[in-house]
A = this chain, B = another copy of it.
Amino acid sequence: MSVEEFRSAAHELVDWMADFLSTIEERPVRAQVEPGEVIARLPDAPPVEGEAFAAIMEDFREILVPGITHWQHPSFFAYFPANSSYPSILAEMLMATLGVQGMSWQTSPSATELEQQVMRWLRDMIGLPASFEGVIQDTASTGTLVALITARERATGYRINEEGFARAGRLTVYASSQTHSSIEKGVKIAGYGRENLRLVDVDGNYAMRPEALRAAILADREAGCVPTCVVVTIGTTGSTAVDPLKEIVEIAREFGLWVHVDAALAGTAMVLPEMRRLQEGIEGIDSYVFNPHKWMFTNFDCTAYFVRDRDALLRAFEIHPEYLRTKEGDRVNNYRDWGIQLGRRFRSLKLWFVIRSYGVAGLQRVIREHLALAQWLREQVEAAPDFELLAPVPLNTLCLRYRPAGGTAPGSGEEELNALNAEIMERANATGRAYFTHTKLDGRYVIRFVIGQTYTERRHVEAGWKLLVETARGTARGT
């Protein structure tokens, strides 16, 4: 392919992209294919000779697109979003073209210095103290793993990096029983061991009970363990519950624990000053992770990781092989030393495009609208006689289920209700008109309705709710 063939193919692609995005609502949100359907149409061996771009694009459209679940559909109400936006896509085009690998300052000064500055912007935008420094990670899983490792090293005088765990004793980690699975995964990877993760009890709102945290720490100290890190979740994945940060910070300070805040979704909401009450006590934490790739309209992957003691982070991760030394040395940030991977994409570029294109006020408007839509939907659910909410709605996520009135209705027992709601959700998703996912809260099957896709409007939320109501009542009637 010559550069002029590239130019012509790229122009053609741009029209496909714009057409696709402007007609995405005509497509099913969740892919309507069965396992194996796509792979059956892909040849077992690669072609020997190169193929024309037109042939590749035809297969892309015919074979792959029907098997895509459309995360960018405004009726995507599943999981937490992984959003793009028009300025973010434009930035990704430039990132791919420049092909920068920003492991060190010298390997692209602009990538490093833009990251420095944009992370300061983000820090200030979400109300973190100026003592924090930021770095972009790929995912919150990685960000949390970085925190767990830094905590491990600080707690042991940086000895596990050197000696391994052999002489380290048992280090314990604390998080609520509603915490994200990445904490358990990180605890395993970092060598703490799952047995040493304490899943602390929650209250009726699914938020960590500080007195239970204190009791767990005391019991562990009594047993000779070394309480090392507490992960505080602001906006749990199940129900967006908010752990009481201020009380937890006080306990952590008393016992010398590293405080890591997982605000993967909710961090974006902190661009609204009125939401920062959810992170009261923030000045006492050690690290903070949130995902602009979730709710800040920046393509996956783009996770913001902030740390108060930058030296602790660097001490845990830095490496200095000869072939990576540059003449600038320590006068510059070499972000390879701020996390796990050596190589790094130029991800600050898309954040910069998004923040400048929206402006802070523009971001605030969209987030406020999503939050208002969630409250509007809450009112609808509360007003519906046969639906109920199973958790508060502090952010953009509703946990609801269908529960027909009267003991004689089908599904009046909990087991039956769970099966009924699972069936309702599957039927709704099978229409392709919206996409929901579930969780369980206290053993009860809950349909999650998350309002956060970049281009979601009131009409999409209304239609999604109508779909659920009609599907539920139809299912209950056996139709």
Contacts and interface: CB of A to CB of B under 8 A. Distances in A.
A463 interface: no
A60 interface: yes
A184 B319 contact: yes
A3 B86 contact: yes
Given A323-B448, A343-B141, A4 B18 contact: yes
Given A86-B1, A194-B162, A356-B56, A64 B181 contact: no
Contact of A323 (B33, B65, B328, B438): B438
User: Which of A11, A50, A114, A437 gathers the greatest number of chain B CB atoms within 10 Å?
Assistant: A50
B100 A71 contact: yes
Interface residues of A, number: 156
Contacts of A4: 18, 22
B13 A94 contact: yes
Interface string A400-425: 00000000000000000000000000
A340 to B, nearest CB: 6
Interface string A348-388: 01001101111111100000000000000000000000000
Interface in A1-37: 1-7, 9-11, 13-15, 17-18, 20-22, 30-31, 33, 35-37
A359 B96 CA distance: 21
B181 A342 contact: yes
A474 interface: no
A465 interface: no
A180 B341 CA distance: 13
A479 interface: no
A222 interface: no
Interface string A314-336: 00110111111001100110000
A75 interface: no
Interface in A113-146: 113-114, 116-117, 120-121, 124-125, 138-142, 145
Interface stretch (A76-84, A200-208, A248-256): A76-84
17 contacts: A14-B93, A21-B97, A31-B106, A38-B109, A39-B113, A42-B114, A42-B117, A71-B98, A84-B99, A92-B95, A138-B138, A145-B340, A160-B191, A163-B195, A164-B170, A238-B323, A322-B440
